[in-house]
Structure 1
Amino acid sequence: MKAREIAFKILCDIEENNNYSNIAINKHFKNLKISNQDRGLATEIVYGVVENKYYLDYVINKLSKIKTQKLSICVKILLRMGIYQIAFLNSISDYAAVNETVNLVKKYDKRSSGFVNAILRNIIRNKDEILNVDIENDDIMYLSTKYSYSPWMIKNFINSFGKDFTEDLIEANNEKPSIYLRTNTLKITRDELIEKLKENGLKAYKVSIIDEAIRVENLKDIENNELFKEGLFTIQDISSMMASKVLNPKENSNALDVCSAP
């Protein structure tokens, strides 16, 4: 099974069953033999579609006489996937995005293949105009649509921080975060772990503000990584690492972590 079809099945699971994206991804990837490249692309599409759903539906509704709430789940999800690849994934050609999406439509809802093909090709012909959010005189709906935030959140942000700061805030929040590892210093030093990560073909860098922290690139299929299985590191964001540093517990003190990763 190819990456896009896996992503489609995961997104259907999320849409139909109100499943959490991370749980759906883990469920569908379990015992699935695919390359790291396909795993990475499927994950990218799933999270990208989920995170940009308001915007993607806005683009669909610009072009389709049948609005998203009336479309079948299959067609709606495949349109979202195709538009996401065209709008956000520079590594994928527009032709490939359209062709692969239409092939999936032919497999799961053949009669809709011409409709989906027409929508996606229309976007490619008029990309700048169609992908632009042209909502005027309504700051809340403009920002809500462009960045896929619920309107009530945007309204609260604007009331608290003003429009300009709100846009800077949500734009920064939509950026892809780096992956950070926390070294298990009971088993290995940070320098030793960095060397092991590099031996595994990963790019790994020290993070100056936290002694145990490592920033990594291209880390895929974490649960099956041998270094992870050996308990040499956990995945943890810098902000979470800093919390324990600020707390600075002393010997025999008690601390309750109520938002605990494994």
Structure 2
Amino acid sequence: MKAPSPARAVAVRVLERVASDQAFADLALDVELTRRVLSDRDVALATELVYGTLRWQRYLDWVLAPHARRKLDALDARPLAALRMTAYQLVFLDRVPAFAAVNDAVSLAHGRKTTGAPEFVNAVLRSFARRGTREREPAPPADPVDALAVRCSFPTWLAARWIGRYGHDEAEALMRAMNERPPVTLRANTLKRDRDALADRLRIEEQIGSRPTSYAPEGLVAEHGGRPDAWRAFIEGHFAVQDEA
């Protein structure tokens, strides 16, 4: 079997550590990325898989459960991480071929205690991949608050609090906005160069496009993440990673 992509291998390892060791995702991801030499593209994918899977974990467990003959929480952390990560790709990432994602999940799914984990992961994901987007969602919970919470991948208690405070529609909009993929926003160090010059440098040196921020006059939004701390312009102090807010 072909070796899994390094991005998926890193993501599964980080998700496994978060689940089994209660590791902080950002620190665990940084450790794994420093252990390997990955392209910017693979760094960006690994980062997306880790944070996307964690943001949507409750929703992913909900849509995966009907395809599994055993409870998902009975699995070891590693095969469960492979399941969730791959479901995230199939649901939320358009440009990821399903067969490649599933094959990598099977390769990465060996658990320490769960016997037959790769076969189980393969069966669940192939069943899941055959379903269309709408068909993947099972019947929602009877409680409307619980139904909204699981669809937005938030704890029910928090959904209930926000519905009580803001109303159903605003609470839903808030939860969905908080689970959107955050942009990589850079603040140019204008003591060294303005943001237009920084944008040109990133395009030439790192092959990374960018666009000006909407409000901050010194800000740029990078087209993809990678590892900004590894870019020469960052090392030389020409920008900081900082939200526009």
TM above 0.5, yes or no, is yes
Shift of 1:47: 1.0
- Structure 2 gap ranges (5+): none
Q: Match of 2:104? A: 100
Number of paired residues?
Answer: 239
- TM-superposed CA distance for 1:199, in Å, is 1.8
* CA distance in 2 between partners of 1:236 and 1:94 (Å): 34
Alpha-carbon spacing, 1:37–1:61, altered in 2? closer, same or farther (3 Å): same
Counterparts in 2 of 1:40 and 1:190: CA distance versus 1, 3 Å: closer
2:106 and 2:122 in contact (8 A); partners too: yes
SS in 2 for 1:238: coil
Based on CA coordinates, which of the two structures has the bigger radius of gyration?
1
SS at match of 2:180: coil
Q: Does 1:203 align with 2:209?
A: yes
Aligned residue runs from structure 1 range 212-223, under 5 A: 212-223=218-229
CA–CA distance in 1 between the matches of 2:142 and 2:217? 49
- Matching residue's letter, 1:169: L
The match for 2:154 among 124, 129, 149 is 149
Q: Which residue of 2 aligns with 1:29?
A: 33
Q: Once the two structures are superposed, what CA deviation does each residue of 1:46-72 show, in whole Å capped at 9, x if it has no partner?
A: 111111111111123222232122222
Given that residues 79 and 111 in structure 2 are in contact (C-alpha distance below 8 angstroms), is that contact kept between their aligned partners in structure 1? no
Moved over 6 A (4+): 107-110
TM score, norm. by length of structure 1: 0.84
Change in 2 beyond 3 A, CA 1:110/1:56:
same
Partner SS, residue 181 of structure 1: strand
1:162 to 159, 164, 167: 167
Question: Using the alignment, how far apart are the partners of 2:216 and 2:110 within structure 1?
Answer: 51
In structure 2, relative to structure 1, the CA distance for the partners of 1:78 and 1:209 (3 Å cut) is closer
- What TM-score results when the alignment is normalised by the length of structure 2? 0.89
Structure 1 gap segments, 5+ residues each: 240-262
Q: Which amino acid is the alignment partner of residue 114 of structure 1? A: E
- Bigger relative contact order, structure 1 or 2, given CA contacts below 8 A and separation 6+? 2
Question: 2 CA distance for matches of 1:226 and 1:151?
Answer: 44
Tell me the percent identity.
30
Amino acid paired to 2:172: E
- How many Å separate the matches in 1 of 2:225 and 2:117? 37
More off after superposition, 58-67 vs 27-36: 58-67
1:156 maps to amino acid:
R
- The CA RMSD over aligned residues, in Å, is 2.0
* CA deviations over 1:229-252 (Å, ceiling 9, x no partner): 11111011111xxxxxxxxxxxxx
